[in-house]
Chains A and B, each alone.
Chain A
Amino acid sequence: MSPSYILLVVAIYVAVGTWMAYMSRKGMGAGITEYFLANRKVGGFVAALTYSATTYSAFMMVGLAGFTYKGGVGALGFELTYLSGLVLAVFFGPRFWLVGKKYGYISPAELLGDRYQSQWVAVVTTVVCLIFLIPYAAVQLMGIGYLLGGLSGGMIPFWVGLILATMLAIVWAWIAGLRSVAWTDSLQALIMLVTSVLVLLFVIYRYFGGFGGFFTKLETGYPQWLAVPGPGFFSLKAYIGLTLPWFFFCISNPQVSQRLFIPKSLGAMRKMLGGFLIFGFLYTLVSVMWGFSTKVLSPGLTRADLATPTLLSQPVIPAVLALIVMVGILGAAVSTIDSILLTLSSMFARDLYRRFRPRASEEMELRLGKWVIPVISFVAMIFGWLKLGLISALSVAASAGLLMTVPAIFGAFFWKRGTAAGAIWSMILGGVVTGFLYFSRWRPLGHWPAVWGGLVCLLAYIVVSLVTKAPLEKAREFLGYVEEGLKERNAL
C-alpha cells in the first residue's frame, strides 16, 4: 500500500481526534477530580464507548485472530470467558462508585490504601501497576510501528509509527485528561467496531457466498479447529492459565477499574456496562471469525500473527476499507495507551507522591500528574524502541501480574479481617512467583504462572491477614456504608 495514502488517512484521523479532544474541554472545571475522572459526571453512552476502547487493545484484531488461526475455537471460549468476567464489574461497580463518591478516591490504589489504612498498600499497588503496565503500553506502541511499516512495505520506518503513537497518546491524554481520552475513545471504538464488521462481511459474502458457505468450508476443511483441544494449542491447562487472569481483568487492570468511578449515576453505569457487553460480544465474534476466515483462505502461514495482515491484503478488500481498518487497529492501540497513561499518572501523583509529600496541595498533585504523562510515555517509547526481550516478557505477564491485586480488592469489600500487611505481601509474593515462572518458563505440573502466582497470592493474603491486626473500625465504617448504599439502590 502506498505510504502517501497511509499517511494521508493517518493525518485525517489525527486531525479529527485532536479536534474532538479540544472540543471536550468545553465546560471543563478545575481540580484533580475533574482532570482524571471528568468530575465523575460521564454519561452512559460515552462511558460505554470509552470502557470498550480502553479494554480492547490491538490484541483483538491481531492477537485474537492469530490465536484462532493457530488454536481454533478455544480462542472464542477464552475471550468470551473474559467477557463473562464482567459480572465482577456488575458486583464491584456500584461498590467502587459509592465509596469513590463518598471518600473522593481518584485511583483504585487510593481506595485500597484508605480501606486498609496504609499508604504503603497504595504505594505497592502503584508499583505493581507501573511494572506491568508500562511494558504493556510499550508493546502496543511497537505494534503501531510494525503495523504502519508492514502495510507500507517497509517504506514507513518503525520509529515513525512509534513516535506518532506516543505523541498522539500524550496529546489526547494531556489536553483535557479523562474528558479528551473519553471523547477520542468514543470515536475510536466506533471505528474499531464498524470497520471490523465491514471487513468480515466483505470476506464472508465475496469468498464464501454467505455464512452458510463459510461454515461448511470450515467444517469440511478444518474440523479440528471447531473443537478443543483441537489442533493442540488450547489444552485444558493452557485454557485455565490464559483465562484465569483475563476473567479478573475488569477489576485487576486499574485503567479499566478506574472507569467505575466516572459515571454520573448508577443509571449511567448500567448503560456503560450494558453497552460494553453488546460491544464486547460483537467484537469478539468478529475477531474470531477473522481468524477462521484466514485459516480457510490462507492455511499455510508460518506465523499466526500474520493472520490479520494476510486477511487485509485479500483482493476482495477495497484499499479504502483496508486503510480505515488500519485506523481501527491504530485507534484500538492508542485508546488503550492513553488510558493507561492517564491512570498511571493519576496513581503516581495521588498514591506515590502523596506518600512522600503528605502536605502537598491538590494543585501540586495535578501539576505533577500532568507532567508525569509525557515522562511515562517517553519511558514506554524508549522500551519500545529498544525492543528488549524483557519488555515483551513483562508485557505477556501483565495480566497475570495484575491478577495479584485481586485478593486485596476482594478482601477490601468482603472481609473485615483483611489487613494492610496481608494485601502488601500478597501482591509482592504473588508478583515474584508469577514473574519468576514467566522468566524461567517453568510450569510445575503443567500449570501456567497465573495459577501458581494466584494461589500463592491468595494464601499470603489470608495467612498474613490472620496473624496481623486489621483496621476493624475503618472496615466496619467502610463496609457499613457500602451495604447501606447497595440496599438503597437495589444492587447486589
Chain B
Amino acid sequence: MRVKRWCWILWFGFLLLLDYTLPYTVLSGVNTVYGAFLFWNLFALVAIASMCVLLWKWRD
C-alpha cells in the first residue's frame, strides 16, 4: 500500500511540475490555442482521469 501511495504521489507531483514549467518555458512563445490553452486542458483531463482511477478502486 505504501509503495502504491508513493507512486501516485510522485505521479501527481510530476503532473504539477509540468503545470508550472511547460507553459512558462517551451509554450510561452506559442500564441495559439495549441499552446498553453491546449496544454492546461490536457493537464486537467489527465489529472481528472488519474483521480477517477483512484476513486473507482474504492470498496464500500
Residues of chain A whose beta carbon lies under 8 Å from any beta carbon of chain B: 73-74, 76-77, 80-81, 83-84, 86-87, 90, 94, 215, 218-219, 223-224, 226-229, 236, 239-240, 265-267, 269-270, 273-274, 277-278, 281, 284-285, 486-492
A86 surroundings in chain B (CB, below 8 A): 51
**A-B CB contact pairs (8 Å), 9 listed:** A84-B16, A87-B47, A87-B51, A223-B31, A223-B32, A267-B58, A277-B52, A284-B44, A492-B1
6 interchain residue pairs of minimum CB distance:
A223-B31, A84-B47, A80-B44, A270-B55, A77-B40, A492-B5
A489 engages B44 (CB within 8 Å): no
In angstroms, how far is the closest chain A Cβ from the Cβ of B59?
Answer: 5
In angstroms, how far is the closest chain A Cβ from the Cβ of B19?
Answer: 6
When the two chains form the complex, which single residue of A229, A274, A488 contacts B28, counting CB atoms closer than 8 Å? A229
Given A73-B40, A227-B28, A229-B28, A492 and B48 touching (CB < 8 A)? no
Assembly CA distance A282 to B45 (angstroms):
11
B23 surroundings in chain A (CB, below 8 A): 73-74, 77, 227-228
B43 engages A227 (CB within 8 Å): no
Assembly CA distance A280 to B23 (angstroms):
21
B32 engages A226 (CB within 8 Å): yes
B44 engages A84 (CB within 8 Å): yes
**Is residue B10 within 8 Å, beta carbon to beta carbon, of the partner chain?**
no
Q: How many A-B contacts at CB < 8 Å in the complex? A: 115
B57 surroundings in chain A (CB, below 8 A): 490-491
Assembly CA distance A164 to B60 (angstroms):
42
Not counting A84-B19, A90-B51, A277-B48, a sample of 14 additional A-B residue pairs whose C-beta atoms are within 8 angstroms of each other reads A73-B40, A83-B47, A84-B44, A226-B36, A227-B35, A236-B20, A239-B24, A267-B60, A269-B58, A274-B52, A285-B41, A489-B59, A490-B57, A492-B5
Assembly CA distance A487 to B4 (angstroms):
12
A239 engages B4 (CB within 8 Å): no
B55 engages A274 (CB within 8 Å): yes
Assembly CA distance A87 to B27 (angstroms):
25
